[in-house]
């Protein structure tokens, strides 16, 4: 009730209406100032943002230009380096080909020299082997001749030995025949024949009869 009374009093009181109008005007002005201030801040922020964006764009464009220049320079350097590598490779290939020819020529010369040395060594070895063969064959011939002489000596000894044994047996038989006349001449001849055909016993260190 009091509030209603006060509102009625305010509506009916001109002073109160004037104060209310002032308050309303002040509030509207304050609101407009806040709006204007907000607009100014918004404009400032937009301007700053636009400036920053333009600066970023300029920086990016400058950076892009720098990167493009660097890329073009790197590409040019790569082309130059590739060309230099190609020239070096060609020069190295030519040098390698020359070195290969020299190595091949040297290898052929060494092979020829080694072949000549091997042929000379083979001839020397063949000569030595032939000389050794002749020495061995000569030594064997000398040994064979010596053995042949020994065989002939033993055969001579064997014949002489047989002759002596035969003579001894014949003498013994004759002596027996004189002491015992009953032994006839035919038995003496058979005994002599047996003594002649019976081989003499081989002495130690002498070969058997080869006749």
pLDDT tens sequence across 80-108 = 888 888 888 888 888 888 888 888 888 88
Quick check: 166 and 192 in contact, CB under 8 A? yes
CA triple 60-66-67, angle to 5 deg: 85
Helix 14-179 vs helix 2-12: crossing angle, to nearest 10: 120
Q: Three-class SS of residue 138?
A: helix
Query: In this model, does residue 34 exceed pLDDT 80?
Result: yes
Quick check: 173 and 188 in contact, CB under 8 A? yes
User: Distance between CA 37 and CA 29 in Å, rounded?
Assistant: 12
Average of per-residue pLDDT values in the chain? 77
pLDDT recorded at residue 201: 43
Using a pLDDT cut of 90, give the percent of the chain over it.
7
User: Distance between CA 39 and CA 116 in Å, rounded?
Assistant: 110
Between 47-51, 59-63, 93-97, the lowest mean confidence (pLDDT) is in 93-97
Ranges of each domain in the chain: 7-197
Range 193-202 average pLDDT: 47
52 phi/psi in degrees, rounded to 5: -65, -40
């Amino acid at each position: 009730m009091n509030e209603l009374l006060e509102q009625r009093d305010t509506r009916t009181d001109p002073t109160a209406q004037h104060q209310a109008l002032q308050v309303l005007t002040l509030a509207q002005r304050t609101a407009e100032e806040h709006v204007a201030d907000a607009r100014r801040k918004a404009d400032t922020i937009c301007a700053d943002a636009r400036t920053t964006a333009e600066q970023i764009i300029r920086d990016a464009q400058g950076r892009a230009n720098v990167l493009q220049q660097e890329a073009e320079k790197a590409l040019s350097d790569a082309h130059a380096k590739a060309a230099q590598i190609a020239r070096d490779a060609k020069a190295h290939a030519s040098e390698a080909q020359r070195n290969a020819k020299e190595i091949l020529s040297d290898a052929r010369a060494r092979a020829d020299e080694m072949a000549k040395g091997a042929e000379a060594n083979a001839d020397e070895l063949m000569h030595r082997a032939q000389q050794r063969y002749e020495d061995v064959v000569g030594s064997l011939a000398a040994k064979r001749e010596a053995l042949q002489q020994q065989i002939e000596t033993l055969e001579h000894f064997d014949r002489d030995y047989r002759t002596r044994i035969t003579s001894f047996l014949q003498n013994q038989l004759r002596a027996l025949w004189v002491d015992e006349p009953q032994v006839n001449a035919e038995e003496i001849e058979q005994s002599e024949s047996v003594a002649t055909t019976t081989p003499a016993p081989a002495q130690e260190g002498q070969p058997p009869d080869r006749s």
